[in-house]
Structures are given as structure tokens and as C-alpha cells.
């Protein structure tokens, strides 16, 4: 699932986008909505979404201001706006896409698909970082780690906590010392 936040000052626009996502992009889970950049700042810090659907023109600070305020942007952005004058600024922030209202379903599906690819690439880089950490620690005192997918993204576990792994059809069951068991589908 792609955890997403909708940021738009117009309630009807948020409702319409929510409905389109439910109908055409079932992999997107809307975890929160914000009607301004102040709320969006709080929600992105607390909930750490994978994706933010962001309106540009809002009262007070706009969507571009919201992105400029971020110390680090750890989420993908799809702009959803009625204005086309912010396209170049969206490109500068490496937005996944820039959709104009009213949103066309096919363009939305394509944008979400592109966002999913970027999110997966980030996930893959986390795996590489974990691998590199393990390689550096082989000669040191630090325990080796493994990055496994979870509901909230990924969880890093110590290899020494794993008792064994068991293959079952197209799944892998990882058994831990503390009795926990993780069930992983094959990719």
C-alpha cells in the first residue's frame, strides 16, 4: 500500500480526489487530509507518508512554500491543481506529476504508478544501505542486520534474532527467538 496525504484547501476537491483514488488506484491508502500547509507540515512529520497529493494555490502559504519549508522531503509529490503556472516550480521539486483539475482518471493512474515506482526504488536503496552496513560490520562488533517489509514500510532486524526461515509455497516464514513469526510474500 502507498500511504498518502491529500492537501487541498477545497473540501470538494479532496472528496473528489479521494473517490477517484478509491475507484482507480486501490493501492493508495489515504491516511490523512489537510486543508492548509500548516496542517500538512504536522501530518507529514507525524505520519511520514509515502506520497502527498498537493494543491498549489491555497490561502496563506501555497504548496510550493510548503515544499520549500521542508528540511528533507521523504515523500513523493503529485501536484493536483487548477493552475498551470506552477509547472516549472513543480519540476524543480522533482514532482512525480502535475495534474490539472478536473483530474482525468487515466492521468491519475499513470501518476500513481510512477509514484509507486519511485517509492519502490527508495525501498530498494534502503536494502542496499542495510547490505552495506552489514558488510562494514562483518569485521566489527556491530551485529548484522536485515531489512524486511512491514505494514509501515520496512523494519530492520538483527540477523542473530532469526532462528530459521521456512519456505511455504510462494511465501517465506521468518521465525525469531522471541517467538514472533513474519510471513513474507515472494516478489
Mean pLDDT of 96-123: 91
Instruction: Return the minimum-mean-pLDDT range out of 42-56, 95-109, 122-136.
Output: 122-136
User: According to the 3-state scheme, what is the secondary structure of the chain?
Assistant: CEEEEEECCCHHHHHHHHHHHHHHCCCEEEEEEECCHHHHHHHHHHHCCCEEEECCCCCCCCHHHHHHHCCCCCCEEEEEECCCCCHHHHHHCCCCEEEECCCCHHHHHHHHHHHHHHHHHHHHHHHHHHHHHHHHHCCCCCCCEEEEEECCEEEEEEHHHEEEEEEECCEEEEEECCCCEEEEECC
| pLDDT at res. 49 | 96
Percent of the chain with pLDDT over 70: 85
> Is the confidence at residue 168, as pLDDT, over 70?
yes
User: Domain coordinates of the chain in residue numbers?
Assistant: 2-121, 123-185
Percent of the chain with pLDDT over 90: 45
Structure confidence by residue, pLDDT tens digits, 53-78: 999 989 889 898 999 888 888 899 99
Mean pLDDT of 38-50: 95
| pLDDT at res. 172 | 81
pLDDT band, very low/low/confident/very high, at 118 (cuts 50, 70, 90): confident
User: What's the CATH fold of domain 2-121?
Assistant: Rossmann fold (3.40.50)
> Is the confidence at residue 41, as pLDDT, over 60?
yes
Amino acid at each position: 500500500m502507498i500511504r498518502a496525504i491529500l492537501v487541498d484547501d477545497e473540501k470538494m476537491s479532496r472528496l473528489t480526489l479521494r473517490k477517484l483514488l478509491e475507484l482507480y488506484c486501490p493501492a493508495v491508502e489515504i491516511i490523512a487530509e489537510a486543508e492548509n500547509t500548516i496542517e500538512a507540515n504536522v501530518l507529514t512529520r507525524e505520519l511520514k507518508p509515502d506520497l502527498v497529493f498537493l494543491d498549489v494555490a491555497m490561502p496563506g502559504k501555497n504548496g510550493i512554500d510548503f515544499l520549500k519549508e521542508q528540511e528533507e522531503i521523504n515523500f513523493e509529490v503529485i501536484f493536483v491543481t487548477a493552475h498551470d503556472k506552477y509547472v516549472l516550480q513543480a519540476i524543480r521539486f522533482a514532482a512525480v506529476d502535475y495534474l490539472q483539475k478536473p483530474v482525468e482518471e487515466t492521468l491519475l493512474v499513470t501518476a500513481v504508478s510512477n509514484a509507486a515506482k519511485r517509492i519502490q526504488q527508495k525501498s530498494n536503496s534502503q536494502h542496499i544501505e542495510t547490505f552495506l552496513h552489514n558488510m562494514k560490520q562483518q569485521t566489527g562488533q556491530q551485529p548484522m542486520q536485515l531489512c524486511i517489509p512491514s505494514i509501515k514500510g520496512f523494519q530492520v532486524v538483527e540477523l542473530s534474532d532469526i532462528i530459521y526461515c521456512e519456505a511455504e509455497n510462494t511465501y517465506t516464514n521468518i521465525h525469531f527467538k522471541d517467538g514472533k513469526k513474519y510471513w513474507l510474500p515472494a516478489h
